[in-house]
Copies of this chain bind each other. A is one copy, B any other.
Amino acid sequence: MKKEIDVLVIGGSAAGIVAATTGKAFYPDKQVLIVRKEAEAVVPCGIPYIYGTLKGVEQNVIPVSHIEQAGVELMIDEVVSIDEVAKTARTKGGAEICYDKLVIATGSVPKVPGWLKGTELDNVFTIPKDREYLAALKSRLETCSKVVIIGAGFIGVEIADELGKKAKDITLVEVLPHVLQMAFDEELSVRAEEILTAGGVKLRLEEKVEEIEGNGQVAGVCLSGGELLEADAVILATGYLPNTTLARDAGIKLNEFGAIRVDEYMRTENKDVFAVGDCAEKFSFFTRIAKGLMLASTACSEARIAGMNLYKLSRLRTFGGTMSIFSTAIGGTTFAAAGVTEHVAIERGFDVVTGSAEGIDKHPGTLPGVSKQYVKLIVNRESGLVLGGSVIGGASAGELINVIGVIIENMMTIHSVLTLQFGTHPLLTGSPTGYPLIKAAEAVAKKLRY
């Protein structure tokens, strides 16, 4: 079967869908086709919630209707090769697709440490974005009572928190001194650890895993000190790798992380080939350093930029580097960060001043459902520019971190933050007199002796 199309998008998770629908919206005359393996794609960041809050995988799929409504065609098949010169792609199902523009959105796959013994044992799992695998994992976990999770990044922490709700015996092992250490400064990580511990999750920090033990089926995880943690199941939450075998085989250039090299329009070296999402190169908004970070929100931002630039470049619509805006909820408390953390800023060579404030997220504090709200700002001493911020709070902190994100992206100084106007309301936000973001800015200003 031979098929001609204007825009071919390979991969149909978040980034692929957004690249395709944005492309179609900006170039309505073009025919856009997504080819993906899965009839139904899971919501990537929703995966941990399959194991607690949601009933199952079927509650965590991206609706196909969005794709159809946008006028984008969807083919369930797997692209097995790309010919950049002939501008064709071949599928497992035997189709040959001729394209004008190609968008690669093949995502990422779980990284299994090569040195780690025992990962092939039964009941040792990873967390791939694969509906069937995740559904099978859910039913297998029902029969397990002792679960060891290796890796306390977002996926590890969120799954531990969710499985904890199911009254299982959960141990979370992390080689670094703190959970979520790549995303947060120590004071936030410590607070997250307190909540996890209070929820019954056993934390083993600064512990290296020696090997996974068992005979056919997993029996436990052996730490480098010799201790054995018994386990009916082990989950490897040890990160992800760009899924770029297809691109590499086609001769498309990769960076040192194995991610596809892209320019600010999300184009590869070949001007007709774009790459977006976890498979595409990431670099820092502040230093242009390449990084391994993978976020659905960043992926969608890249995908929008690719879609808009498919047939006509716009200087106004370029990708200026990943801002790293994170949020999560642990035991009902929100943890969020934008830009750089204090420790990363210092590591990168910035002279920074930080300020923090703790308040409440409704006012007066006598209202039902009030949560504490902690805000920290990280500011470049010389320029006064806000480089980062973090928040601990109730559910509204998930959008408050986006306020800080917009502040950073606009390269606002701490002066201008001090005079920013905010809307406040008793039931919805901190008080106008004690709005923690402003109070944190004041704390910075005080240190700068303005």
Contact = CB atoms under 8 A, between A and B. Distances in A.
A296 to B, nearest CB: 4
Most-contacted residue by chain B among A25, A328, A425 (CB, 10 A): A425
A422 interface: yes
Interface string A395-428: 1111111110111011011011011111111111
Contact of A409 (B322, B400, B420): B420
B402 A300 contact: no
Interface in A291-321: 295-301, 304-305, 308, 314, 316-319
Given A322-B421, A329-B425, A427-B395, A415 B316 contact: yes
Contacts of A54: 364, 366-367
A301 B424 CA distance: 11
Interface stretch (A59-67, A78-86, A206-214, A340-348): A59-67
Interface of A: 14, 17-18, 22, 25-26, 43, 45-46, 49, 53-55, 59-62, 66, 295-301, 304-305, 308, 314, 316-319, 322-323, 325-329, 334, 336, 338, 363-364, 366-368, 395-403, 405-407, 409-410, 412-413, 415-416, 418-429, 431-435, 438, 442, 445-446, 450
Given A53-B427, A398-B423, 18 more contacts: A14-B432, A14-B433, A18-B433, A43-B363, A46-B364, A46-B367, A49-B367, A53-B367, A59-B364, A60-B364, A66-B434, A297-B432, A301-B422, A316-B415, A326-B423, A327-B423, A398-B427, A399-B402
